[in-house]
Chains A and B, each alone.
Chain A
Amino acid sequence: MDVTTILILLLVGAIATYFSGDKLASKVALVFSLGAFGLSLSLLSTYCNGGNISFIANWIDIPKVALAFKADGLAMAMVLLTTALTPLIIFSSFGNSFNNSKNFYALVMFMSFAMTGTFLAADGLLYYVFWELALIPIYFIALIWGNGDAEKRKKAVLKFFIYTLGGSLFMLIAFAYLYSKADSFLLEDLYKLDLTASEQCWVFFAFFLAYAIKIPIIPFHTWQAKVYQKAPTVGTMLLSGIMLKMGLYSVIRWQLPIAPDAAKTYMPVLIGLSIAGVIYGSIVALRQKDLKKLLAYSSLAHVGLIAAGCYTLTLDGLSGAVLQMIAHGFVIVGLFFAAEIIFRRYETRKIDEMGGIRTQTPKFTSMFMILVLASVALPGTFNFVGEFTVLYSLSQVNVWFAILGGTTIILGAYYMLKMFQNSMLGETNAKVFAEVTSNEAITFVVIIAFLLFFGLYPKPIVDLITPSLNEILSNINS
């Protein structure tokens, strides 16, 4: 058994969801996504016992493209993140009703398929195909099921599409160029390539354009907040929880090892840009009145810190970044879900119009509180582990980077707690706020349990990713 089974299961799930009809669609999608999660867990155990779960076969003869899926610890960690979040996201949407829900859930499943493929692909062109495929479903999810004014939404979503497509097309040029040098798209062959400094520089920046837009790193972030705000919550969760991680993962997997010298040369610039994103995102988040937009900018800040960790080119930086990717994936899904729960009851995302929810719903308040604290990296949560490892690695490079990057925690605590205060505490709101339903509670409990468990015991994940990160680092430094 190899990793292609996960992909096949997800694709079959997407098709089955489409044909199951509007009533059953959400349940069928949930069953298949849980199946994929179970399958990835069992494959993980095979992998940990030394079994081979990678897959390689010939796909296209000219140009030579292989159907190569490489499952090392890093890829498996990201696959698990995807397959664990997908059922959670689908389950969290059970309280909503969508028009044409069979199309909606089929697109969600298809997107999960494409993202899993992106994480696993070990052949440049195959990877690119999955990378682009992931864009189509989210475009339609945000466009058709999004909220707010249709004209504005269309503009925001089209901007998002053109931005990301534009960035990735430059990556495609880089791949075409690398192919003309290596006569192969295989990851190992691309790692082995001996490029001159100027070639590396061009390839590096072609990749950078694609990833900086996807992650997003300043100044390529302008699409983000509007799309997060306009997309339906499921779409926002998919985008912020998993899709951004595609960009970060690709930095580690593709950009750094293929053009290591360029990465070393431009390290201060890259870290600087990433940290600028941290500070900018935090400051803008301070002024947001819309809950989803605030979370979008907080996401920008956190992701900036992860990117900074990746570009330190140290083991601590990389592993902290991967840990934080996973932690951020869970916490941001939880936070957007909290926003959605408030929206289901109050039909508003404006923080001013909330307030006083705590007295009516102690359970929801406490769960929301834990997520807020996790997002500001309180010790004991998984986010603390990731964020502090990254900050430590930044301090190894230059202590000022660590100090500036640390503002994410200080400012983060300020705007997140202020948001919490304004929305949950304060004057009792006249409107009735029903306590969370058991379905909603399950989602929260799973997320919180995950964050707390790995916050106290991150060793399994660290052990899983460290060997592959070491391998990548040896490729960077050789």
Chain B
Amino acid sequence: MNTLIAISGLGVFCLIAEIFNLRKLLVPVAALGLLAILGLTISEFETPASFYNNMIVVNKFSVAFSSLFIILTIFLVALSGDFYKDHPTKISDFISIKIFLLAGSVAMVSFGNLSMFFLGIEVLSISLYILAASRRLDIKSNEAGMKYFLMGSFASGIILFGICLVYGATGYFDMAEIHDLSQGLGMPVWFPIGVALIVIGMLFKIAAAPFHFWAPDVYEGSPSMTTATMSTLAKVVAMATLYKLLNDLMPTLSPKVEILIVIISILSMTVGNIMALRQKNVKRMLAFSGISHAGFMVMALLSLSTAATTLLYYTAAYALAGIASFAVIIFITKDKDNEDISNFNGLGKTNPLLAAILTASLLSMAGIPIFSGFFAKFMLFANTIKAGHLIVVIAAVINSIISVGYYFKLILAMYTKEATSEKPAVPFVYTAVAVLAILLNIVIGIWPSLVTNLLS
């Protein structure tokens, strides 16, 4: 609860900072503020509590995921300073929107009541709509914002409909009460329908097939900074929320539901990977790669009892690799009119460090050992096999092999092609964020217990 109040306070502070003309200091102050909030959040780890009639429930799960979100936001805020330096008058807006987005995210993993959940998802989504369309003179950004807004509000509507049906079936918005009721027999048929509608809405938010059609266009059209936010923070938040919802509303999955999850998982992985193979635009490629990762994450739901740990680890690995790669991608494509792979030609020679970081983060996404992406995939596979779903694992492995094809396209471009243009010096913040993110990724790859012991 303190976390949520502190984050909202920081957001408001960032807005006010503009009046007092503190723009230059804003990025460091916001980052430091977030660091302090991170400390505050972690201090709540051992003390579960609930606030305001169970509106907010703080427990290990919520604290662990909130901390991850805060870390990701720190990186994103740090990058914003340079990214928006051409729009100095707007920087406080952009940063406060990102912080409000974080507030929504924290609400989404610590809600104890469906109305709070809906508030969280709306705060998150509206922030993203604004960020997607934030380059208002760019027609592509406008398109992205519009598309995302239409599709997103449609999904929100579906979620709301689902919540209504659940309310109608149980008479409660409170998760604990619904959880108790759902254990008993004789639930009316619109209860599962309601849950299904909520899940569909969330699958839309994480861009899992077949609810993924908005993702590539929106990712490509949005400013790179927003794409980074969507593909790391927003995706991770939605996945954690989906798990929390399913775990409370439907703790034992019936075989039919499991088959549905299997289908969505395999479909997402395959569609994402095969489409990614054909992309020339890096942001589009990462959008499709994100769709396939969504398939992997959905797979974790098949072993619901261990899914919290697996998901925490997987999302941390995926998001940290995503931040590291986007730090490089944002820098490389900053002054370019497109984000084609050819922009990365010869990066291995002109800037070995950034090339190495991008390579490392792509290897992590492909699941090569020492990077945490490997262990994330492994844990997922092991738990899924234990739950008796060998078929999904085999499909996932085949997809991992396919994914090497497009991740390596970028690596090959960096190391075997000749550079077309000289690159200006890298601002310190890009290097710092990329190095920190990939180091964190490697650290939890070498000592997975740091993360996996948190929730068990």
Q: Which residues of A contact B (CB under 8 A)?
A: 59-63, 103, 125, 128-130, 132-133, 135-136, 140, 143-144, 150, 153-154, 158, 161-162, 165-166, 169-170, 172-173, 176-177, 179-180
User: Which residue in A62, A143, A179 is a CB contact (below 8 Å) of B452?
Assistant: A62
Identify the closest chain A residue to B382 (Cβ). Answer: A176
Residues of A within 8 A of B375 (CB): 60
User: Which residue in B309, B381, B412, B456 is a CB contact (below 8 Å) of A172?
Assistant: B381
Residues of B within 8 A of A169 (CB): 397, 400-401
Name the distance in Å between B350's Cβ and chain A's nearest Cβ: 13
Pick 26 A–B contacts, CB within 8 A, sort by A.
A61-B449, A62-B309, A62-B452, A62-B453, A103-B352, A129-B369, A132-B368, A133-B370, A136-B363, A140-B415, A143-B416, A144-B348, A144-B416, A154-B416, A161-B408, A162-B405, A165-B368, A166-B397, A169-B401, A173-B381, A173-B385, A173-B390, A173-B393, A173-B397, A177-B390, A180-B385
Residues of B within 8 A of A162 (CB): 401, 404-405
Q: Cβ of B374 < 8 Å from any Cβ of A? A: yes
Bound complex: CA A177 to CA B383 (Å): 10
Main secondary structure of the interface of B (DSSP, over half): helix
User: Which residue in B370, B382, B404 is a CB contact (below 8 Å) of A161?
Assistant: B404
Contact A166:B412 (CB < 8 A) given known A173-B394, A176-B378: no
Q: Cβ of B87 < 8 Å from any Cβ of A? A: no
Bound complex: CA A449 to CA B416 (Å): 40
Main secondary structure of the interface of A (DSSP, over half): helix
User: Which residue in A136, A143, A153, A180 is a CB contact (below 8 Å) of B382?
Assistant: A180
Contact A136 B416 (CB under 8 A): no
Q: Which residues of B contact A (CB under 8 A)?
A: 309, 348, 352, 363, 368-370, 374-375, 378-379, 381-382, 385-386, 390, 393-394, 397, 400-401, 404-405, 408, 412, 415-416, 447-449, 452-453, 456
Name the distance in Å between B346's Cβ and chain A's nearest Cβ: 12
Contact A129:B405 (CB < 8 A) given known A61-B453, A62-B453: no
Residues of A within 8 A of B408 (CB): 158, 161
The CB with the most chain A CB atoms within 10 A, among B382, B408, B456, is that of B382
Residues of A within 8 A of B381 (CB): 172-173, 176
Bound complex: CA A132 to CA B375 (Å): 12
The CB with the most chain A CB atoms within 10 A, among B369, B374, B400, B449, is that of B369
Bound complex: CA A172 to CA B375 (Å): 11
Contact A143 B309 (CB under 8 A): no
Q: Closest 10 CB pairs between A and B? A: A129-B369, A176-B382, A166-B401, A169-B397, A180-B386, A132-B369, A176-B381, A176-B385, A61-B449, A60-B448
Name the distance in Å between A193's Cβ and chain B's nearest Cβ: 15
Identify the closest chain A residue to B370 (Cβ). Answer: A133
Contact A125:B378 (CB < 8 A) given known A132-B369, A173-B393, A180-B386: yes
Contact A61 B374 (CB under 8 A): no
Name the distance in Å between A161's Cβ and chain B's nearest Cβ: 7
Bound complex: CA A63 to CA B376 (Å): 11
Contact A143 B415 (CB under 8 A): yes
Name the distance in Å between A316's Cβ and chain B's nearest Cβ: 36
Name the distance in Å between A252's Cβ and chain B's nearest Cβ: 23
Name the distance in Å between A94's Cβ and chain B's nearest Cβ: 24
Name the distance in Å between A431's Cβ and chain B's nearest Cβ: 32
Bound complex: CA A59 to CA B448 (Å): 9
Identify the closest chain B residue to A170 (Cβ). Answer: B397
Residues of A within 8 A of B393 (CB): 173, 176
Bound complex: CA A161 to CA B447 (Å): 26
Residues of A within 8 A of B401 (CB): 162, 165-166, 169
The CB with the most chain B CB atoms within 10 A, among A143, A162, A173, is that of A173
Residues of B within 8 A of A59 (CB): 449
Residues of A within 8 A of B386 (CB): 180
Residues of A within 8 A of B385 (CB): 173, 176-177, 180
Bound complex: CA A136 to CA B362 (Å): 12
Residues of A within 8 A of B368 (CB): 132, 135-136, 165
Bound complex: CA A130 to CA B370 (Å): 9
Bound complex: CA A177 to CA B448 (Å): 20
Residues of B within 8 A of A144 (CB): 348, 415-416
Bound complex: CA A165 to CA B407 (Å): 14
Name the distance in Å between A274's Cβ and chain B's nearest Cβ: 25
Contact B452 A60 (CB under 8 A): yes
Residues of A within 8 A of B415 (CB): 140, 143-144
Identify the closest chain A residue to B394 (Cβ). Answer: A173
Contact B374 A132 (CB under 8 A): yes
Bound complex: CA A170 to CA B394 (Å): 8
Contact A62 B369 (CB under 8 A): no
Name the distance in Å between B399's Cβ and chain A's nearest Cβ: 10
Residues of B within 8 A of A130 (CB): 369
Residues of A within 8 A of B447 (CB): 60
Residues of A within 8 A of B369 (CB): 128-130, 132-133
Bound complex: CA A21 to CA B386 (Å): 49
Residues of B within 8 A of A62 (CB): 309, 449, 452-453, 456
